[in-house]
Amino acid sequence: MKPSFINYRDLKATIDAALDPIQQLVATASEATRRQLISSLNKLILSLEDPNDTIHRYGHMNLQTATIRIGFDLGLFELLCEAGGPVAVEEVAQKTGAEPQLIHRILRYLAAIDAVAEVSANRYAASNVTRNLTEKAVEAGLGHYFYTAGPQYEALPAFLKRTKYKNPVDELHTAFQDAWKTPLPAFQWFSENPGHLTYFNDYMALRREPELSWLSVYPVAREVKDWDTKDNSKAIYVNIGGGIGHQCKQFKEKYPDLPGRVILQDLPHSIAKALRTPGVENMEHDFFQPQPIKDAKFYFLRGVLHDHPPHQVRKILEQTKAAMGPDSILLIDEMILPETGVNLTAASIDMTMLTALAGMERTEAQWRETLGEVGLELVETFMYAPLHYEGVMHVRLLGA
């Protein structure tokens, strides 16, 4: 039987009609629904690819980011958003100081990757993606990935081939060192390369929403009901490797009346820039060295352990464990991957940790194994951003 004739104009109209209710749904959909729609539609798109499509989709990924960086440098995305409607190529050229022919070619490419909308042969307007690209977190993040992470990704295939495809476990021997021709570990290299450090710090500071916090789910009140309220010399909360102190500030603001010391710990360069929050002590401390604060109620590590290879993770945990008393709780705020179906963002972050730091993201089973190796027990997990796999783990001394 011959296949029935397909009228592609009618097919396009059918698809467009099907997209209308989907777009209406997105306007009121939950984050979980929105992500599922993206996943389903993306799988549909990829199912239609031929080999040539696959070549150009993967082969031009770096070009996409490079052209978006050019858009940032020229202020194209803010220009289109502020215009409130279509803008002629000549006007864009005049406002950016670039040659009209070049601007036209750049805008044409950005429209082809749906970063802007093409209205007519010489007129362009802002799209949803254009508006996303005006966000400071997006610009900082793409700066970090393009300028700092990008060369590491390029070095990764040769690095793994040279090391006979062994899982990296040494922070001094990763694709990072190959990419930047340096013997330094990543964070020390950052301190000597302030431009790269600025992109990284700005991205880290802007990427997390304050309301997505362990404090929204963890039962602090339940755990401190028997806390000794007479001894204010004891620490109630020690934020280890806490940067400039945002977490301490949030803890103090949410629980201003809890007795006990609230302490921020980090290396001198971070403490020098730390927030001066009333009731918070800023303390210089290297978490690879013995923990000076003994018997605190909560020791808190956020996004620290995934930055380090297994042997360094054990050192950090052992130093913290040695300071813990029988009533102490170690809170580990990290990504907790599912066993299957890990999303693209999380899988990409895991590979980035491998590339730059010999670190990794872990499943709950892997976290239990890691903690058990040093005599700690994962008692309970509280997910505060399940779509991002982010949660806080309640950890005690084994047998406590």
The full DSSP string for 221-240 is HHHTTT--TT-TTSEEEEEE
The DSSP symbol for 366 reads H
Backbone angles phi, psi at 152, to 5 degrees: -70, -40
Is 228's pLDDT higher than 70? no
Residues 325 and 298: their CA atoms lie apart, in Å, by 10
Report which of 217, 100, 202, 88 is spatially closest to residue 144, judged by C-alpha positions: 202
pLDDT digits 0-9 by tens, 356-400: 999 999 999 999 999 999 999 999 999 999 999 999 999 999 987
Amino acid at site 125: A
Residues 178 and 168: their CA atoms lie apart, in Å, by 13
What residue spans in the chain does CATH classification 1.10.10.10 cover? 8-132
Query: Looking at residue 202, what is its pLDDT?
Result: 82
More confident residue, 194 or 349: 349
Q: How far is CA 317 from CA 90, 121, 334, in A?
A: 60, 60, 14
Query: Looking at residue 321, what is its pLDDT?
Result: 98
| Token couple for 62 | 């770096």
More confident residue, 1 or 221: 221
- Catalytic, 306? Answer yes
Report which of 131, 147, 156 is spatially closest to residue 65, judged by C-alpha positions: 147
Is the pTM higher than 0.85? The answer reads: yes
Catalytic residue among 60, 173, 306, 388: 306
Report which of 139, 152, 134 is spatially closest to residue 354, judged by C-alpha positions: 152
What residue spans in the chain does CATH classification 3.40.50.150 cover? 214-397
Query: Looking at residue 197, what is its pLDDT?
Result: 86
CATH architecture, domain defined by 214-397: 3-Layer(aba) Sandwich (3.40)
pLDDT digits 0-9 by tens, 190-218: 989 989 988 888 887 766 555 689 999 99
Could you tell me the pLDDT band of residue 2, with boundaries at 50, 70 and 90?
A: very low
Q: Helix or strand or coil: residue 173? A: coil
Query: Looking at residue 3, what is its pLDDT?
Result: 46
Report which of 191, 288, 198, 182 is spatially closest to residue 241, judged by C-alpha positions: 288
The DSSP symbol for 157 reads H
Residues 301 and 293: their CA atoms lie apart, in Å, by 14
Cβ atoms < 10 Å from Cβ of 51: 7
Mean pLDDT of 160-175: 97
Backbone angles phi, psi at 163, to 5 degrees: -95, 15
Which has the minimum average pLDDT: 40-44, 245-249, 294-298, 370-374? 40-44
CATH number listed for the domain at residues 8-132: 1.10.10.10
Q: Helix or strand or coil: residue 310? A: helix
pLDDT digits 0-9 by tens, 129-153: 999 999 998 999 999 999 999 999 9
C-alpha 99: how far from its chain's center?
Answer: 36
Amino acid at site 9: R
Amino acid at site 186: A
- Cα-Cα-Cα-Cα torsion 167, 173, 176, 178, nearest 10 degrees, comes to -110
Query: Looking at residue 11, what is its pLDDT?
Result: 66
Mean pLDDT of 107-128: 97
Residues forming beta bridges with residue 87, ordered by sequence position: 124
